[in-house]
Amino acid sequence: MEMLLVLMAVLAGALVPVQAGLNMLLRQHLSDPTQAAFISFVVGTVVLLAYCLALRHQWPSLAEMSKIPPVLWIGGAFGAFFVATTIYLGPRIGAATMTAFILAGQLTASLLLDHFGAIGFPEHAVSPWRIVGVVLLAVGAWMIKAF
């Protein structure tokens, strides 16, 4: 089961530059990266809605939804920023450089989230080897950009 989870993570990571490339091409047919990001989110929303309907998920009531802390709704805004940013960066710095620096940012933030057990993640202390791993990735990102 653990190997399946790893493969799912690798697939999700592999789709990041593919999604960015498709969204860049979509942007070429539109006048603005924000419009391309919007269309990407509309399509994603429709796919997720169809998936939820197919699984017959029970929807929370409006009363239940109103009890959700407002800060928990911001994840969608972060997703919008991410998609719009990849549409902007891709044609300027290329898929490899963009993805390398995205990964460096993701791992840096992830180390902090794990270390403090923040926003629902289990606590996993930062170790010197974990820091070395992030530093090596950052050096690799720089090398991808430089060469």
Residue-wise pLDDT for 20-45, tens only, equals: 999 999 999 998 888 999 999 999 99
Alpha-carbon distance of 106 to 114, in angstroms, equals 12
Which among 67, 93, 119 is the end of a domain? Answer: 93
Examine the domain organization and report whether 105 and 69 are in the same domain.
no
Q: 109: number of CA atoms within 13 Å, CB side?
A: 7
Give Cβ neighbours of residue 45 (< 8 Å, ≥ 6 apart).
none
Examine the domain organization and report whether 144 and 103 are in the same domain.
yes
| Full domain range(s) for residue 136 | 94-147
Model confidence pLDDT, tens digit, residues 85-133: 999 999 999 999 999 999 989 999 999 999 999 999 999 999 999 999 9
Which among 72, 93, 114 is the end of a domain? Answer: 93
Helix 95-116 to helix 128-146 angle (10° resolution) is: 160
